[in-house]
Structure 1
Amino acid sequence: MLKFSVKKHIIVGAVVALLIFFHFIGILSPFESTISYWLSPLFRNFYSFSSGLRLTYNEHINKSDLTSRIKQLENQLNKSIIDNVKLKILEEENQALRQNLKFLIKSQYHYAMANIISRGEPIDLVKGNKIIIIDKGSDDGLFPGLPVVSSDFYGSENQGLIIGKIVTVKNNLSEVCLLNNQNCKLAGSLLGQTKINGIVSGELGLTVKMEFIPQTQKINKGDIVVTSGLEQNIPQGLVIGKVIDIVKNNNELWQSSILEPLINFDDLIIVAVLLP
């Protein structure tokens, strides 16, 4: 059996060698041409199939690379947008801080700078209880009744603008009632006319009014109302707002005026609390 197997391999090797010899001397050329003719469609179809398969694979790879690149660019764009927003917020905070510091340094007040971290709950806003929450509290020497100010008054850093006062404090937080809060009351007077006094408070969270002004006192639209200094811990001369309307009834002992705050409370970022 082993001898038959060896003989078989010798015969196959001899046939292969003979075919190679006939190929080189050209005897098999007619047969090779015929075989090539009949097999060429098969080779052509196989080549087309393999080429199509290769193109499909390359296209899939390219689409995958393109999708990955698009995702990468989207991530870079989103990061740039976030970075720009952070930079804008930082610029606004720095500008507000510079304005406050100029006013506070010139006025020589003792103060504590604070960031606004929250605003009143919706239910409070409906009731007109306009409030903000700041990130300073009793641990920083704050207590109820202290005035909270900003520094922007007609673009000047020389004059402070009171926006409200502290009503409650915790260790590291304080609640501030704004001027348009109906529960926020201040003693006010006309700028340059300290004899014209009244009580300033918010009205339904929409406007600010100054009441209990004697009928004998003359008030004009455009007059500036400031703190009178009659309240403990609230200095004289902090700007409250500008008179935009006067409510006067001849049968009453008192008259009142409607005030316009000189700052948009929604724009506030950083404030200062004046300390005694």
Structure 2
Amino acid sequence: LKFSFKKYIIFIIVAGLLIFFHFLKILSPIESYISYWLNPVSKNLYSLSSNLRSTYNEQTNKQILTDKIKQLEDQSNKLIIENVKLKILEEENQILRQNLKFFTKNQYNYKIANIISRGESADLAKGNQTIIINKGSADGLSPGFPVISPNIYGLENQGLIIGKVIATKNNSAEICLLNNQNCKLAGSILGQTKTSGIIHGELELTIKMEFISQIEKINKDDIVITSGLEQNIPQGLVIGKIAKVVQDNNELWQNATIEPLINFDDLTIVSVLTGNKN
């Protein structure tokens, strides 16, 4: 213990002398010499610490930037999803408003349905295009009922027929579209009730009107409507407009190609007419 105390006293005395000599600048040559040799080491140590600090800050900034980008991407994706939902709601509201215009003018009972699937690819290849909706016999649907789109035509708010029910299950129904070769309707020219013919699809590509009398005058862009000669299908539902007239003087009948006024592939919601209101 005495030895340790002596060492402590000696250390204090030496430290005091060094401080004293430092202020008297007696140690300046030695300090300069030591500083000369230590400067490169100090420089390297400072450079190393600076690089380490810079690398740490860079990694930290990168992580912060990555987290910020991820946050912005998540916010962007959320906004995109919300925007899509709003657009879907807007489209559905527009569809319901258009349906309301038609059904306010016409006294029909109806069911609004969503398309839940389309026909098998094998049927599509044969030109038998169909859709499946989420309403069926439990909702009062029966084969032969007309199916209309949410779109309306003209100032009179006429409905656009897209096909008819061909089969029903309890909670679903199969609809043949007008471009289905097995989907047949009785049609006439708007304003010419005597000009009638049979409407059917052709290879899923076009709609044809056949068995039109040669004595009837039909023109390109004439509007074709349902004639009302079929059970359950009222008169005046718009089918499309005449795109081409095929007339052969040697034939008993003339034919026409009809251009639909809507794209069947764009349909998501339809309405099924289930009869007139009493």
TM-score of the pair, normalised by structure 1: 0.88
Judge conservation of contact 1:93–1:269 (CA < 8 Å) in 2: no
Q: How many residues align?
A: 271
> What is the Cα deviation at residue 12 of structure 1?
2.4
Query: SS at the partner of 1:38?
Result: helix
Judge conservation of contact 1:96–1:269 (CA < 8 Å) in 2: no
Query: SS at the partner of 1:98?
Result: helix
> What is the Cα deviation at residue 93 of structure 1?
2.0
- Matched residues, percent identical? 64
Query: SS at the partner of 1:198?
Result: strand
> Is 2:11 the partner of 1:16?
yes
Q: Which moved more, 1:81-90 or 1:137-146?
A: 81-90
Q: Which moved more, 1:177-186 or 1:76-85?
A: 76-85
Judge conservation of contact 1:151–1:159 (CA < 8 Å) in 2: no
Judge conservation of contact 1:151–1:157 (CA < 8 Å) in 2: no
> What is residue 203 of structure 1 aligned with on the other side?
202
Q: CA RMSD in A?
A: 2.2
> What is the Cα deviation at residue 184 of structure 1?
0.5
> What is the Cα deviation at residue 148 of structure 1?
0.4
> What is residue 220 of structure 1 aligned with on the other side?
219
Where does the alignment leave 5 or more consecutive residues of structure 2 unmatched? Answer: none
> What is residue 107 of structure 2 aligned with on the other side?
108
> What is the Cα deviation at residue 107 of structure 1?
0.5
Query: SS at the partner of 1:152?
Result: strand
Where does the alignment leave 5 or more consecutive residues of structure 1 unmatched? Answer: 1-5
Query: SS at the partner of 2:220?
Result: coil
TM-score of the pair, normalised by structure 2: 0.88
> What is residue 57 of structure 2 aligned with on the other side?
58
> What is the Cα deviation at residue 157 of structure 1?
6.1
Query: Matches of 1:216 and 1:59 in 2, distance apart?
Result: 87
Judge conservation of contact 1:151–1:158 (CA < 8 Å) in 2: no
Residue 57 of structure 1 aligns with an amino acid whose one-letter code is Y
> What is residue 25 of structure 1 aligned with on the other side?
20
Task: Map 1:148-167 onto structure 2 (within 5 A).
Answer: 148-156=147-155, 158-167=157-166
Summarize the Cα distance change of 1:156–1:265 in structure 2 as closer, same or farther, 3 Å threshold.
farther
Query: Matches of 2:273 and 2:16 in 1, distance apart?
Result: 110
Judge conservation of contact 2:206–2:257 (CA < 8 Å) in 1: yes
Query: Matches of 2:33 and 2:222 in 1, distance apart?
Result: 112
Judge conservation of contact 2:223–2:240 (CA < 8 Å) in 1: yes
Judge conservation of contact 2:153–2:160 (CA < 8 Å) in 1: no
Q: Which moved more, 1:21-30 or 1:255-264?
A: 21-30
Query: Matches of 2:132 and 2:54 in 1, distance apart?
Result: 64
> Is 2:104 the partner of 1:75?
no
